[in-house]
Structures are given as C-alpha cells and as structure tokens.
Amino acid sequence: MKIGFVGLGNMGAPMAKNLVAAGHAVTGFDTAGVTVEGVTPAAAMEDAVSGQEVIVTMLPNGAIVRTVHEAIVAAADPETLIIDCSTIDVESARAVHALAGEKGLMSLDAPVSGGTGGAAAGTLTFMVGGSEAAFAKGRPLFELMGAKAVHCGEAGAGQAAKICNNMILGISMIGVCEAFHLADKLGLDRQAMFDVASTSSGSCWSLNTYCPAPGVGPESPADRDYKPGFAAELMLKDLDLSQTAAEKNGAATELGRHARDVYKAFVEGGGKGRDFSAILEKLSAG
C-alpha cells in the first residue's frame, strides 16, 4: 500500500519502520523534522497525505489531532482510510470521525498498548473504533505493527477501551508498588514477595510482566534505572482522560481519581521522564 504517516515520535517512528519492512511505500511527516530509515520524508504534511491509500497519525493530544485531521481531510484522496493511533479524548475521536465522514473518507480511532518496546517489536495491541469495513481494510496494517487488534465498536470505542484499560493499569501499578514498599518495611524479601504474589491472588500484569522492583521477575524498566517504556507523564495523561470522561458521564471512579492524583504529584515532584513504575522508587525514598 501507499501509506502516509504523520507523527514520527517515539511511537510513530518504529511503527512506520515496521510498515516499510513489510514492503509498503511510506511517506512520513513530523513537525520536528524527524526522519526514519526507509520512510520517504515529506516537506509538508499535505505532501505526506496526498495520493495515499491509508494515512496513519500518532499525535500528542486531541486538540492537535483535530487540527491535523482538518488538513488531512482537505488533502486526502477519495476513499482514503485514516487511522489515528493517538490516545485522545473520546469526544475528539468522534469529531474527527465525523469530519472524515463528511468527505466520504473511512476512519478508525486505534490507540495502542505496549509502549515503545511494543512499537519497535511490532507487538502492540490496537483498540479500534469505527465501521466494520474500515476495520477490515486496516487489519492487515495492524497485524504488521502489532500482535493483536480488537474491534471495540463504532467511532470512539477504541479510545474508550484505551482509557478504561489504562485506568486499571495505573491503579494496579500503584497497588503493586505499595505492596513492595510495605514488604520492605516488614523485612520481607522482594523475591519472596514476587514468588508468592505472582502465583496467587495478587497476580496481575503490573507485577508479573512489568514488575517495578529491580532484579525481580522478567526484565522491565526497573532494571534500567526506570528509563521509560511508558513515561509517568503519559500515564498521567491517560488518567486525566479517564477522569474527564468519568465526570462527563457520571461514572464513579474513586480509585481512578486517586491514581490520577498520585501520578500528578509524582510527575510534578520530579518524576517526569521516569517510567510510571518508578512510583516504587519514590515510596522507598520516603
């Protein structure tokens, strides 16, 4: 396929590279002037999206997505499929779907889970909202950039799934970090704590796969001085999105709200640029 890719940051660059490796012709644009091996650089965004069969975007927030998609819709060819892989608010996702629909373009909101490691390895999970026809057209590309793609429903459903999933993740990571902190205070060996909890009722992804304790469990950012696979400020962004959605829809999410407040304090207190599992390091430091 001929693919335009807008947003070649820490996530977008390896995703675009995987598409190139599979033999697709990818033209890319990034406002920072980033270039990716094998991706044809475009001098302007319109050059990246004109004449393409599929356009993929990976952008920071809903306001930017809305602005960029206005330009994409104006420049894209008829019947182009637009896939937005950004993590944004549900309302913005639905707005850009409507914008695409007015011009007769297919669109998908397809945020991802898996972090920069998953983007590089091509093992991301895509949570996808949009029509069945659009999902069918996009599925081959999801299979190249990731390990799993779930069609969650109509416009905005992918974003809804993403913020609910990451609310669980933020809450569970704080719980795991607090459990290790308490174990330390009680004189319990961290390895023993892991061996028990990872095979009993405390088992969860934040413990078993992404353990926040260095030297315990599978290798994780904790073993690399908490260099982020998923930065704390990105977790804060997702938790902010979950709480905005909860407030607008009258959902009671007390633990989600508390997790948002914990990460807000962590990021503002020096945690920016650290992995979201570095909450354990903060607790251990007192």
| Token pair of 41 as six digits | 């650089």
Q: What was the pLDDT predicted at 109? A: 98
175 phi/psi in degrees, rounded to 5: -60, -45
Which one of the listed residues 137, 162, 237, 282 is annotated catalytic? Answer: 162
Q: What was the pLDDT predicted at 286? A: 76
**Residue 272 known to be catalytic:** no
Q: What was the pLDDT predicted at 75? A: 94
Q: Give CA–CA dist 151/64, Å, rounded.
A: 24
Query: In which residue are the tokens 């475009």 written?
Result: 42
Taking only the tens place, the pLDDT of each residue in 106-150 is 999 999 998 888 999 999 999 999 999 999 999 999 999 999 999
Q: What was the pLDDT predicted at 178? A: 98
Q: How does DSSP assign the chain, residue by residue?
A: -EEEEE--STTHHHHHHHHHHTT-EEEEE-TT----TTSEE-SSHHHHHTT-SEEEE--S-HHHHHHHHHHHHHHSPTT-EEEE-S---HHHHHHHHHHHHHTT-EEEE--EESHHHHHHHT-EEEEEEE-HHHHHHHHHHHHHHEEEEEEEESTTHHHHHHHHHHHHHHHHHHHHHHHHHHHHHTT--HHHHHHHHTTSTT--HHHHTT-SSTTSSS--GGGGTT--SSBHHHHHHHHHHHHHHHHHHT---HHHHHHHHHHHHHIIIIITTSBGGGHHHHHHT-
262 pLDDT tier (thresholds 50, 70, 90) = very high
Taking only the tens place, the pLDDT of each residue in 205-221 is 999 999 999 999 999 99
Q: What was the pLDDT predicted at 223? A: 98
Average pLDDT over residues 88-98: 97
Q: What was the pLDDT predicted at 141? A: 98
91 pLDDT tier (thresholds 50, 70, 90) = very high
Mean pLDDT of the chain: 96
Question: Domains in the chain, start-ordered, CATH in brackets?
Answer: 2-153 (3.40.50.720), 160-285 (1.10.1040.10)
